Amino acid sequence: MKTLPAKLKSAKLIAFNKIAPASVFKLTKGSKAAVIADKKGAPQLFIFDTFALLDVLSKIDEALVDRLSTEEYHNETINPAGWLIDKIEAKLPLNPNFILSLKNSLAEAKKKGWIPFEKIEQELGLA
């Protein structure tokens, strides 16, 4: 079943990198994005998978981090890109490689006898 508006019936699907070349806007490897263009080649609709959308939002977020105060940066009205990134990432499953790496790092720290910062803070009366 087609759900495209009538004016896009003759539209064509083109690669996102034809609209935003990698030299201007690079998506990470594995991200998928496309653009639906009308007969004249004008973009009408952008299609992103989750990771491509995160790439786009991150690019916007990175541009704002140095321009906004800390309070403004964390305001969802002023920086909706950052807010949306947080919402999306909260729903994504953890990468199994990250979990394994974290477990290995914790085991190594325990084996080497490293002391957690929280314990140091407590012992020094800083917590």
pLDDT digits (tens, 9 = 90+) for 76-109: 999 999 999 999 999 988 889 989 999 999 899 8
Residue at 126 is within a domain? yes
Q: Quick one: pLDDT band at residue 44, thresholds 50, 70, 90?
A: confident
Q: Has residue 1 been placed in a domain?
A: no
Residue 1: pLDDT band with limits 50, 70, 90: very low
User: What's the pLDDT band for 5 if we cut at 50, 70, 90?
Assistant: low
Domain shared by 99 and 86, yes or no: no
Same structural domain, 44 and 100: no
Residues 15 and 64 in one domain: yes
pLDDT at 59 (0 to 100)? 92
Instruction: Identify the pLDDT of residue 24.
Output: 79
For 63-104, the DSSP string reads HHHTTS-HHHHT-TTT-HHHHHHHHHHHHSPPPHHHHHHHHH
- The count of structural domains within the chain is 2
Question: In this structure, are 33 and 72 located in the same domain?
Answer: yes
Cβ 50 vs Cβ 92: under 8 Å: yes
Computed over every residue of the chain, the mean pLDDT equals: 87
80 and 48 in one domain? yes
- Can you give the residue range of the structural domain that contains 100? 94-127
Q: Verify that 100 and 121 share a domain, yes or no.
A: yes
Dist. CA 67–CA 86, nearest whole Å: 19
- Residues 108 and 49 both lie in one domain: no
Shared domain for 84 and 100, answered yes or no, is no
Q: Is the distance from CB of 79 to CB of 43 less than 8 angstroms?
A: no
Whether 86 and 117 map to the same domain: the answer is no
Return the pLDDT at 107.
Answer: 92
Q: Does 108 lie in the same domain as 63?
A: no
* Same domain, yes or no: 77 and 120: no
Whether 46 and 80 share a structural domain: yes
